[in-house]
């Protein structure tokens, strides 16, 4: 048979078929490999520059070693299972139709048999290694575990066994069971494919070699299953499936004994499999396996169910009493609730003259500025340029000013590259020129200016104020919560400045330029590093731009929380980092938690649900991950320098065994808190997310009597935030406050409790009030003994103190107040209700809510105009807190509020004059003005319905004029209501249409 003629012209060499595809594959692998290398090596540079290369190395070497171990175990098991089964194939086999089919499969497989016999184990090994590497933290905690010095009440083992040993043993056992199952299936399929196992009419035929193989595999599986049954005994104390966490009556008296029986039975059946492999008789292991399955069903499922239904259920309260007691004690210990100072607070609801005299210091510090609403005021008054921005929610802190503690609302002026004009949105501008924000802005928390603006302590460009100036602290903000994804900074000495520094300080001054001088990021000056970072950030401009020089640094991963999470991967980071001026630098302070879901008898709590409130719902703070824990400690305080991004981790709770274990893993990454400066200590505060988790648990676990806990008739809930429409929890609030058992005020984090909400219904009366002492002192390396002390005031239910919802309802439904506020809502301005603060002063509970007024227009911002206060059934409503409190407490509260110097002045009129107070016709003027406003609204709505827009515009002008007259008339009034009899509300003070506050 002749070959077909070649189609290639004579003299032309024939191309090598198939060369292109392998070449493309090799090139693709090289490209992918280099991209992978670029991402890994840039991480190495980042960690080295920051001084945390130990963390990167330890974490990744651990992952690699665990991956290789998991890969090797799975690969070896599957490979040898296949290999042994293949070599045990029968040389001769009877012909049959089935055999013919298997012969065809063998013939098709033979050319690639060697590849398959290695490729399948590699594939399963990769999956197994990846799964094992993800458990690196369990492995490292097991290898570096620290004792708790506390034993569980059931097995009397140290708590570290449950947090650090049992999870590791469970991981190893589960992994080996998976390996045994996969290898066993691979061996069975290979035996079947090559004839060692055959399905025949009379049953299943297995060769002697296959029988031994299966027996050994079965024995290994049963031994591991027995170990798993044995470990399950200890896992019962971590149960969270019942009404209470931990091993309960049925677990202790039925589940734990049966798990022990099953563990022993599994071991015995494993021995029967080994015996069967030796003698070749399978009756005993088959019977043993059947008995094990039946025992597992009866003893492991039916018996506990019978005990629960017919013994426990009829006498549950009695039988579970001991185990409920365990649950209460261990949960309180795991969440740090066992040291809560609880006291009865017999709150009064009768406002008497001078009642605030014993609480004069607290009254003077009551915060009026709502950090959630005042951001727009900061932006309009202090932003200066569109390429600056302030966060949605500002932060509350305190500073020592003239020897006194001053609560402040503070923020940093961060860069907003999206604020650049369209024609400025070049790569050079976004990454080389506009690189940083500028300055700290802070205002007094307890007062405001006459026209309702923040009373700034630190402001302006250049930055000036009581916190320092450009010469006493570094105002430039390169690292913050809203920084660009990356910036390229730095230049050789003497090179021209490229970075926009800050706007002109005054008219006629030029814009200033700057060059970063710190050590804030990896060097990107070399050509090789340019290539790596060009790949990482997918930017060719970085490779070609003259904005990148030999001394250039690249700043990225600039969010303080992200930086702490990267250098401390074992921590859960609080959702709210806050800035402080410390030792001449702006430092972001970040709280880190060590957590675990394995604490025995402790109730699990989902972090995302426990920390959700109106702040997280509005995206003002970051929500915690959707993970469940039953142990938490604020173990680390971290700082991130806003200028150079340097991260410092301090071991705050140095007695936490989990943190001690991680310190053994990463011995150089944490510093003792004794190295914290006094200035830094003075700005440490109790973390919000830990407090929110604790208050969630305390709603039930303030009850320590197991019988009362069982009936659950004294459970509490966190009230919903009454200043927002959605049903979300009220956030905790920071404020300087003196609790009833304290001698002087302290910076506290506070929250309140109402009766448990069931199906959305609850009596909104106050049952409890929780405060966490947040003052750590101001001495270097010395933590104040009172820091972190939780104080819980329990209010007798019969007292009937209104809760936040009732207080807000009183504000909204008061005829005079609601009339004034409703008129404003229908006019050209918006009324914003501020955060509703609760304070245990005056022998009862005082509610304070600032009310803000915001006009229309893009440049408008809220101004604080009025303050609402409540005590029992009485309310006060005035331009200042001081006047409102005096109204509330019979004309004289007994203490001066922080805004007492404002003298109740209203905002200046448009012409610049302030209305004179004391006019006798003021009430008549106010009534007439409100009537005119009502008439203008009605006429305007009628005109709008008719489509007469000209008439509608005229009525809007009349409405604005009427509201201004109402403001002026109200300012003339000097309301001094007479004290009301006990339990009777005083006459409602006259209203003013201006308003304030935020949610």
How does pLDDT run across 196-225, given as a tens digit for each residue? 777 666 767 777 888 888 889 999 999 999
Q: What is the pLDDT of residues 548-575, one digit of tens each?
A: 999 999 999 999 999 999 999 999 999 9
Looking at residue 646, its pLDDT comes to 96
How far apart CA 503 and CA 760 sit, in angstroms, is: 52
Looking at residue 977, its pLDDT comes to 36
Classify residue 980 as exposed, middle or buried by CB count within 10 Å of its CB (0-12, 13-18, 19+): middle
**CA angle (565 as vertex; 147, 686 as ends), nearest 5:** 70
Looking at residue 508, its pLDDT comes to 45
Looking at residue 553, its pLDDT comes to 96
User: Is it the case that residue 997 has pLDDT exceeding 50?
Assistant: no
**Taking residues 701-706, what's their average pLDDT?**
95
Window from 63-72, 846-855, 976-985 with minimum mean pLDDT = 976-985
How far apart CA 561 and CA 565 sit, in angstroms, is: 6
**Taking residues 265-284, what's their average pLDDT?**
86
Check residue 354 and give left, alpha or beta (phi > 0: left; psi -120 to 50: alpha).
left
Q: Which residue has the higher pLDDT, 907 or 203?
A: 203
| HSE, side-chain direction, 13 A CA sphere, residue 661 | 24
* Token duo for residue 999: 């949610």
Looking at residue 190, its pLDDT comes to 86
Question: How many other C-beta atoms are found inside a 10 Å radius of the C-beta of residue 29?
Answer: 10
Window from 116-125, 235-244, 602-611, 968-977 with minimum mean pLDDT = 968-977
* E strand intervals along 895-953: none
State the SS3 of 147-209.
CCCCECCCCCCEHHHHHHHHHHHHHHHHHHHHHHHHHHHHHHHHHHHCCCEEEECCEEEECHH
For strands 341-344 and 790-794, give the pairing.
parallel
Residue 677 · residue 583 · CB < 8 Å: yes
pTM: 0.86
**Taking residues 938-942, what's their average pLDDT?**
73
Q: What is the pLDDT of residues 397-412, one digit of tens each?
A: 999 998 889 999 999 9
Q: What is the pLDDT of residues 490-518, one digit of tens each?
A: 999 989 999 999 886 554 456 789 999 99
Residue 990 · residue 926 · CB < 8 Å: yes
CA dist 186 → 42, 87, 285 (Å)? 41, 14, 22
List the one residue out of 799, 807, 850, 18 whose CA is nearest residue 377.
850
Q: How far is CA 530 from the centre of its chain?
A: 35
**Taking residues 308-337, what's their average pLDDT?**
95
Looking at residue 21, its pLDDT comes to 83
Torsion of CA 819, 824, 826, 831, to 10 degrees: -110
Report DSSP letters for 266-310, one per residue: HHHHHHHHHHHHHH---HHHHHHHHHHHHHHHIIIIIHHHHHIII
Which residues have CB under 8 Å from 708's CB, separation 6+?
714
What confidence category does residue 286 fall into, taking pLDDT thresholds of 50, 70 and 90? confident
What confidence category does residue 748 fall into, taking pLDDT thresholds of 50, 70 and 90? very high
User: Is it the case that residue 730 has pLDDT exceeding 60?
Assistant: yes
List the one residue out of 949, 926, 960, 925 whose CA is nearest residue 824.
960
Question: How many other C-beta atoms are found inside a 10 Å radius of the C-beta of residue 892?
Answer: 15
Which residues have CB under 8 Å from 460's CB, separation 6+?
382, 439
User: Is it the case that residue 12 has pLDDT exceeding 70?
Assistant: no
Looking at residue 331, its pLDDT comes to 97
User: Is it the case that residue 94 has pLDDT exceeding 90?
Assistant: no
Backbone angles phi, psi at 706, to 5 degrees: -60, -35
Window from 338-347, 448-457, 825-834 with minimum mean pLDDT = 825-834
Which residues have CB under 8 Å from 428's CB, separation 6+?
541, 545, 547
Q: Which residue has the higher pLDDT, 921 or 163?
A: 163
Q: What is the pLDDT of residues 910-928, one digit of tens each?
A: 333 333 334 335 656 666 7
User: Is it the case that residue 92 has pLDDT exceeding 80?
Assistant: no
How far apart CA 136 and CA 167 sit, in angstroms, is: 11
Looking at residue 937, its pLDDT comes to 76
List the one residue out of 192, 236, 232 whose CA is nearest residue 214.
192
* Token duo for residue 931: 């009537």
CA dist 848 → 468, 719, 755, 897 (Å)? 32, 16, 22, 12
Q: Which residue has the higher pLDDT, 509 or 380?
A: 380
Q: What percentage of residues in the chain have a pLDDT greater than 70?
A: 87
Q: Which residue has the higher pLDDT, 962 or 385?
A: 385
């Amino acid at each position: 048979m002749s070959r077909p003629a070649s189609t290639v012209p004579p003299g032309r060499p024939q191309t090598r078929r198939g060369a292109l595809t392998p070449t493309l594959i090799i090139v693709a692998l090289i490209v992918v490999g280099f991209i992978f290398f670029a991402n890994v090596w840039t991480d190495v540079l980042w960690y080295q520059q920051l001084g945390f290369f130990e963390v990167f190395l330890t974490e990744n070497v651990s992952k690699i070693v665990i991956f290789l171990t998991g890969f090797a175990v799975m690969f070896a098991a599957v490979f040898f299972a296949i290999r042994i089964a293949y070599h045990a194939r029968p040389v001769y086999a009877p012909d049959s139709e089935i055999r013919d089919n298997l012969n065809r499969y063998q013939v098709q497989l033979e050319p690639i048999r060697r590849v398959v016999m290695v490729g399948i184990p590699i594939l399963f090994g990769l999956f197994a290694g990846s799964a094992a590497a993800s458990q690196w933290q369990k492995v490292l905690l097991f290898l570096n575990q620290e004792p708790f010095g506390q034993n569980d009440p059931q097995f009397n083992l140290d708590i570290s066994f449950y947090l650090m040993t049992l999870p590791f043993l469970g991981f190893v056992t589960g992994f080996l069971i998976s390996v045994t199952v996969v290898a066993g299936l691979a061996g069975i399929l290979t035996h079947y494919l090559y004839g060692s196992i055959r399905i025949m009419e009379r049953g299943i035929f297995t060769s002697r070699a296959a029988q031994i193989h299966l027996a050994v595999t079965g024995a290994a599986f049963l031994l591991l299953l027995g170990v798993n049954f044995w470990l399950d005994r200890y896992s019962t104390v971590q149960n969270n499936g019942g009404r209470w966490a931990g091993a309960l009556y049925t677990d202790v008296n039925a589940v734990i004994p049966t798990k022990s029986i099953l563990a022993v039975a599994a071991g015995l059946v494993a021995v029967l499999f080994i015996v069967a492999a030796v003698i070749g008789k399978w009756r005993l292991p088959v019977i043993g396996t059947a008995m094990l399955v039946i025992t597992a069903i009866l003893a492991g499922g039916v018996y506990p169910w019978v005990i629960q239904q017919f013994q426990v259920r009829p006498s549950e309260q009695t039988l579970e009493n001991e185990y409920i007691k365990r649950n209460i004690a261990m949960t309180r210990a795991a969440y740090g609730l066992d040291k809560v100072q609880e006291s009865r607070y017999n709150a009064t609801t009768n406002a008497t003259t001078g009642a605030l005299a014993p609480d004069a210091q607290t009254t003077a510090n009551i915060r009026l500025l709502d950090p959630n609403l005042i951001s727009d005021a900061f932006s309009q008054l202090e932003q200066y340029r569109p390429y600056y921005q302030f966060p949605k929610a500002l932060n509350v802190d305190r500073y020592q000013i003239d020897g006194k503690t001053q609560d402040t609302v503070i923020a940093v002026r961060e860069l907003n590259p999206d604020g650049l004009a369209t024609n400025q949105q070049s790569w050079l501008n976004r990454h080389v020129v506009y690189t940083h924000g500028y300055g700290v802005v802070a205002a007094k928390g307890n007062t405001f200016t006459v026209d309702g603006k923040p009373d700034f302590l630190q402001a302006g460009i250049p930055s000036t104020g009581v916190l320092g100036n450009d010469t006493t602290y570094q105002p430039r903000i390169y690292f913050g919560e809203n920084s660009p994804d990356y910036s390229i900074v730095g230049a050789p000495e003497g090179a021209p400045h490229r970075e926009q520094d800050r706007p002109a300080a005054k008219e006629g001054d030029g814009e200033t330029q700057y060059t970063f001088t710190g050590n804030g990021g990896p060097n990107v000056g070399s050509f090789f590093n340019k290539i790596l970072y060009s790949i990482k950030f997918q930017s060719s401009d970085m490779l070609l731009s003259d904005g990148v020089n030999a001394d250039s640094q690249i700043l990225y991963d600039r969010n303080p929380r992200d930086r702490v999470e990267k250098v401390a991967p074992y921590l859960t980071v609080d959702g709210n980092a806050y800035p402080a001026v410390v030792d001449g630098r702006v430092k972001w302070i970040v709280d880190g938690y060590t957590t675990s879901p394995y604490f025995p008898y402790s109730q699990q709590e989902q972090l995302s649900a426990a920390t959700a409130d109106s702040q997280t719902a509005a995206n003002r703070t970051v929500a915690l991950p959707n993970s469940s824990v039953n142990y938490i400690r604020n173990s680390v305080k971290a700082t991130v320098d806003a200028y150079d991004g340097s991260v410092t981790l301090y071991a705050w709770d140095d007695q936490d065994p989990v943190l001690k274990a991680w310190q053994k893993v990463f011995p150089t990454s944490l510093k003792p808190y004794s190295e914290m400066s006094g200035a830094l200590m003075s700005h440490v505060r109790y973390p919000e997310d830990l407090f929110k988790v604790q208050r969630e648990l305390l709603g039930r676990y303030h009850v320590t009597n197991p019988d009362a806990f069982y009936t659950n008739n004294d459970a509490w809930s966190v009230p919903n935030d009454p200043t927002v429409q959605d049903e979300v929890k009220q956030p905790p609030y920071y404020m300087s406050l003196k609790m009833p058992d304290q001698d002087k005020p302290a910076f506290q984090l506070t929250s309140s409790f109402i009766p448990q909400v069931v199906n959305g219904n609850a009596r909104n009366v106050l049952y409890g009030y929780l405060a966490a002492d947040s003052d750590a002192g101001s001495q270097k390396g010395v933590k104040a003994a009172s820091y972190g002390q939780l104080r819980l005031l329990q209010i007798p239910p019969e007292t009937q103190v209104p809760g936040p919802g009732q207080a807000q309802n009183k504000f909204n439904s008061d005829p005079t107040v609601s009339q004034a506020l409703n008129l404003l809502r229908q006019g050209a301005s918006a009324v914003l209700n501020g955060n509703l603060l609760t304070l245990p002063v005056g022998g009862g509970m005082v509610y304070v809510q600032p009310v803000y007024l915001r006009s229309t227009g893009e440049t408008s911002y809220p101004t604080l105009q009025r303050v609402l206060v409540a005590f029992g059934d009485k309310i006060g409503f005035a331009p200042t807190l001081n006047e409102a409190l005096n109204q509330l407490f019979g004309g004289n509260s007994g203490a001066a509020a922080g805004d007492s110097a404002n003298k109740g002045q209203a905002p200046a009129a448009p012409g610049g004059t302030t209305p004179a107070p004391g006019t006798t016709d003021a009430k008549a003027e106010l009534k007439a003005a409100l009537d005119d406003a009502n008439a203008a609204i009605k006429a305007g709505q009628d005109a709008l319905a008719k489509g007469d827009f000209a008439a509608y515009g005229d009525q809007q002008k009349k409405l604005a004029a009427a509201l201004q007259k109402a403001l002026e008339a109200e300012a003339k009034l000097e309301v001094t209501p007479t004290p009301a009899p006990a339990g009777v509300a005083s006459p409602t003070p006259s209203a003013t249409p201006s308003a304030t506050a935020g949610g």
